[in-house]
Amino acid sequence: MSGWLALVGGGEWQAGCAGFDGHLLAASGGDEVLVLPTAAAYERPDRAVETATRHFAGLGGRVRPVMALARTHAEDPELVAQVRGARFVYLSGGSALHLRSVLKDSSLWHALVAAWHDGAVVAGSSAGAMVLCDPMVDPRGGAFTLGLDLVAQVAIIPHHDTWSPEKARRTVHLAAPTVPVIGIDEQTALLRSPDGTWSVEGRGAVTVFLAGAEGTLADLP
């Protein structure tokens, strides 16, 4: 059992995201969104929080920032308790490698997974979406590395509408034939419902590649 999952291709908390973010807020059963700007730790995380606050205020929600910006913060009992009790957790974009280094095998990560299995909504955008999957696309060159494995045997290419076509092709062809690679456009969400059904919402498209060829959502685990 799990809650809703949203893998967003980037450009989070913009106008094109209002539809699916509104649906996720309603699905959470509350009006609070915990925002983890961890991936943006070196890119003004306060601005990410401000953007999220304005966006969700327009949807009738409110944002509580969880400023887990370094590894030590991911073991802070207060922050861990906040995530464990959350109904909607959103991981921002930024550096996927930094986000992974902060969360991997941490108390905060275990709290997020437990909250999701208890029915909480979990969303990640760009770097946030990449690390939720395993394998994870390495943003430096498009090859693969370890992710956090909330969703196994799926890899994400965020910003697919602006990603280097050459790097995207390299990623697709490096993938194991049984691992779907999913290109997600900006301001677009690939959603997984609690019953495991996948769907797409937002302004752009989602493209599935399997064994080097274009596939469908039916190919996703």
| DSSP annotation string for 102-137 | HHTT-HHHHHHHHHHHTT-EEEEETHHHHHHEESEE
CB–CB of 37/92 below 8 Å?
A: yes
- Omega cis (within 30) before 135: yes
Grouping H, G, I as helix, E, B as strand and the rest as coil, residue 192 is strand
The pLDDT, as a whole number, for residue 2 is 94
What average pLDDT is seen over the chain? Answer: 97
| Cα–Cα dist 76/72, whole Å | 7
Read off the pLDDT band of 124 (50, 70, 90).
very high
Q: Which CATH architecture has domain 5-219?
A: 3-Layer(aba) Sandwich (3.40)
What whole-number percentage of the chain has pLDDT above 70? Answer: 100
* Whether residue 113 has pLDDT greater than 90: yes
Read off the pLDDT band of 141 (50, 70, 90).
confident
The pLDDT, as a whole number, for residue 216 is 96
**Better pLDDT: 40 or 167:** 40
49-93 pLDDT, tens digit per residue, is 999 999 999 999 999 999 999 999 999 999 999 999 999 999 999
* Whether residue 1 has pLDDT greater than 80: no
Average pLDDT over residues 4-33: 98
Sheet holding 155-157, edge to edge: 155-157, 181-184, 206-210, 213-214
Q: What is the pTM of this model?
A: 0.97
